[in-house]
Amino acid sequence: MNTATAAAITESQFADLPNGTRLHYASAGKRGAPLMLFVHGFPEFWYEWEAQLAAFGDTHFAVAPDMRGYNLSSKPAAVDAYRPKLLVQDLTQFIAALGYERAIVVAHDWGGAICWNLAIQHPELVERLVIVNSPHPWVFANALLSDPAQQASSAYMNWLRQPGSEQALAANDFEKLEGFFSGMGQPVADWFTPEVRARYHAAWSQPGEGGSHGLTGGVNYYRASPLHPPAEGTAPLRIDQMPPEAFVVKVPTLVIWGEMDMALPKSLLNGLERFIPDIRLERIPDGTHWVVHEQPERIAALIRSFVS
């Protein structure tokens, strides 16, 4: 990235939402410019989007929140506090709290899961949607039910749902949590420099609320979600209760996909046109699940060509 033209990033900003959630956020650019919202996934925080904030602050008010359960935002301990409905509500109220009626929304991983639902349920709030390596909810649900390969790739989700997974992730100086960035046969993450590692360790070390572990919030996204591979002792997902027509995305959508994603294979792109009439698909053959970090300039160029 050309640092000579990169916009300055302001951290340590907070929005107190009507639902009681307090979201910390970082931003670049001037309030009043078109809003561009960047939404992170697991196990990340706003810093996932540092390069993109710097890239788009020249033309937009670029904002990246810590989602509830992460870093400096509210971290309720209860699993029910992470139901999809409440996570979407956080974003609808956050957009309003920033003084806007709509936004260009860019999201990755769990952020994408939330923002698929945001665009489906509140298309009036989403000017354009950009999704990076996050499967459409109906397509993912169907794969989890019917595709043994996807069930195997997603088996880690059931492990994360178990009691005590947060303590296991934090053990040995976050060894297992760091493994998400280079595990499952993926190459060692060159972008995970000592400086970046220190930022992540600081975020992961933030305390939880009510005596809960600091990582409980992020793990609770998995515990609260109905989307996970079949597991003994849990109610099976009912795809028959998910009519496909209820999952149509009615806003222009760019899907960017690192095809070396070991957990979310490119087969999840099959049939997306059924759900997204106005879709542009960009495949990155040499990108992993963490392509946002691996190829930030390419990601920025793809987004800019889509939103300008």
Residue 175 domain flag: yes
Question: Of the listed 60, 213, 289, 293, which one is catalytic?
Answer: 289
Q: What is the DSSP string of the chain?
A: --TTSPPPEEEEEEEE-TTS-EEEEEEES-BTBPEEEEE--TT--GGGGHHHHHHHTTTSEEEEEPPTTSTTS-----GGGG-HHHHHHHHHHHHHHTT-S-EEEEEETHHHHHHHHHHHH-GGGEEEEEEES---HHHHHHHHHH-HHHHHHTHHHHHHTSTTHHHHHHHHHHHHHHHTTT-TTPPP-TT--HHHHHHHHHHHTS--STT--TTHHHHHHHHH-S-S---TTSPPP-GGGS-GGGG---S-EEEEEETT-SSS-GGGGTTGGGT-SSEEEEEETT--TTHHHH-HHHHHHHHHHHH-
Residue 108 domain flag: yes
Domain with 253 in it: 9-307
* pTM recorded for the entire structure: 0.96
Residue 3 domain flag: no
Domain at 36, CATH number: 3.40.50.1820
Q: How many domains does the chain have?
A: 1
Active site residue 70: no
Question: Of the listed 222, 228, 261, 293, which one is catalytic?
Answer: 222
Q: What is the pLDDT of residue 182?
A: 83
Residue 26 domain flag: yes
Residue 118 domain flag: yes
Question: Of the listed 109, 228, 261, 293, which one is catalytic?
Answer: 109
Residue-level pLDDT, tens digit, the chain, 308 residues: 444 468 999 999 999 999 999 999 999 999 999 999 999 999 999 999 999 999 999 999 999 999 999 999 999 999 999 999 999 999 999 999 999 999 999 999 999 999 999 999 999 999 999 999 999 999 999 999 989 999 999 999 999 999 999 999 999 999 999 999 986 556 668 999 999 999 999 999 999 999 999 999 999 999 999 889 888 777 667 787 789 999 999 999 999 999 999 999 999 999 999 999 999 999 999 999 999 999 999 999 999 999 98
Residue 166 domain flag: yes
Active site residue 109: yes
Q: What is the pLDDT of residue 184?
A: 59
Q: What is the pLDDT of residue 3?
A: 43
Residue 142 domain flag: yes
Residue 228 domain flag: yes
Active site residue 289: yes
Q: What is the pLDDT of residue 2?
A: 46
